[in-house]
Structure 1
C-alpha cells in the first residue's frame, strides 16, 4: 500500500538502519540527495551528520520531529515505544507532476498513459488532453481504457479524482502544520 504513495516513506531502526522504503523512498535513496544509504544500511543526511544522529536519538526517545533538508520537509516519528521510526518526506512545492508520475509508476502505466493521466489530474477533459498532447481523441480514449484497467477505476471521473489526489500529496507546509499538532 505504501508504494501507491508518491512521496518517500522510510521505516528505520533507532540507529538509522533502513528496514523498509516504499518505491518513492527507494528512488530518493538511489539519487543520494538529500538522504543516502551507507554501506552498513544506515540512512544518513550527508550535510548534517551530527544533527541527524541527534534527531534519531530524540525520535527513538518518543519525540516527533520536523526536519528540513534539501528543500524537503521531513517528519521523523516513532511508530511505537521502542519500535521503528517512520521518516516521511514531503515533496517540495510544485511537485504535482512527480506525484502523478509516482502514481503512474505504482500502477505500471506506460509513459504515454502517464502523460494522459497527468492532464486529467490537472483538470483537462479528454478532448483538451488530446489537443494539448497533440494526439487524437481516439488515442486518448484507448489510453484511458488501459489506464482504467491497470488502476481498477471504473470511470474517468474516479480515475481523475485518484490522480488529482495523488498530485495533492502532502506539501512541506502541510507537513509543518501536521507536526505543529504533534
Structure 2
C-alpha cells in the first residue's frame, strides 16, 4: 500500500519531469528566426552575415540602408563590395581572413564619407560547420540613438537642456551652441550645469561617457531596400 511519503515523492517526481519538459521544449525554428531578425533590426549598428561563398545571407535594416546609399559600400549579386575597386579589394581581403578565423577591422573612406567595418568569424577553423562571418558597421552618430532621447526624458531634462545635450554629443563648443540657439554663453553654461546636476555627472566628459554607454537603439525602422535572400524580406515596423 502506498504511503503518504511515497505519494508525495511520486508527485514531486512527476512535477519535476513536467517542469523539465517545459523548459527543454524546443522553440519552433520559424518563431526563433523571426524573433532573432527582429532583434537585429532594433540594434543601432549595421549587421551582415556572409557565408563561405561570399554571399550575404542576411543584412539588418541599417546595413541595407547603408548599402542602398552607395556612399562607401554596395551589394551586387549578393556580394558585399566597396564603392570602388580599392575598397572592394580591402573588403575581400578582410573577408578571406575572417573565413580563416582571423578578425579584421577596416577603416574605409570614400570622399567625405567614412565607414568602419569589423569582420568577425562565427565559426572556429577546427570545427566542421561551414565558415560564416559577421560584419559589423560603425554607428553613425550617438545623437541618433533613441536611447539618448529616452535618457533625456528619464532625467527630466527641459527641451532646451535636451537640445544642449544633443549639441554636446555632436561635438559643438559652448560658443557654437550659444550662436546656434541665439542665447548668451552664460545661458548655455547654466544649462550645462543643470545637465550635470540632473544626471549626476561631475563634468561634461563624464556626461558624454554616460551617453556613449547607452544601449544602441534605432529611432525608427523603415521599409527600404528589401533583399529577397533575407529570411524576412522586410524590416519590421
TM over 0.5: yes
Query: Pick from 94, 100, 105: which aligns with 1:55?
Result: 94
Whether the 8 Å contact between 2:45 and 2:216 is mirrored in structure 1 is: no
Assess, with a 3 A threshold, how the Cα gap between structure 1 residues 55 and 118 changes in structure 2: closer, same or farther.
closer
User: What are the residue-to-residue correspondences of 1:19-58 with 2, within 5 Å?
Assistant: 19-38=57-76, 40-47=77-84, 48-58=87-97
> Could you tell me how far apart the structure 2 residues matched to 1:131 and 1:73 are?
31
Whether the 8 Å contact between 1:120 and 1:126 is mirrored in structure 2 is: no
Q: State the match for 1:98 in structure 2.
A: 144
SS of equivalent residue, structure 2 residue 91 = helix
Whether the 8 Å contact between 2:103 and 2:119 is mirrored in structure 1 is: yes
Question: Higher relative CO (CA 8 A, sep ≥ 6), structure 1 or 2?
Answer: 1
Unaligned regions of 5+ residues in structure 2, if any? Answer: 1-38, 125-129, 164-210, 218-237
Assess, with a 3 A threshold, how the Cα gap between structure 1 residues 62 and 129 changes in structure 2: closer, same or farther.
same
Q: State the match for 2:107 in structure 1.
A: 68
Q: TM-score, normalised by structure 2?
A: 0.44
Query: Pick from 48, 52, 55: which aligns with 1:14?
Result: 52
Residue 31 of structure 1, CA deviation:
1.2
Q: TM-score, normalised by structure 1?
A: 0.55
Query: Pick from 115, 123, 132: which aligns with 1:84?
Result: 132
User: What are the residue-to-residue correspondences of 1:33-182 with 2, within 5 Å?
Assistant: 33-38=71-76, 40-47=77-84, 48-70=87-109, 71-81=114-124, 82-92=130-140, 95-100=141-146, 118-122=148-152, 125-126=155-156, 128-129=158-159, 164-166=214-216
Assess, with a 3 A threshold, how the Cα gap between structure 1 residues 128 and 57 changes in structure 2: closer, same or farther.
same
Count, aligned residues: 120
Unaligned regions of 5+ residues in structure 1, if any? Answer: 101-116, 134-160, 168-182
Q: CA RMSD in A?
A: 2.9
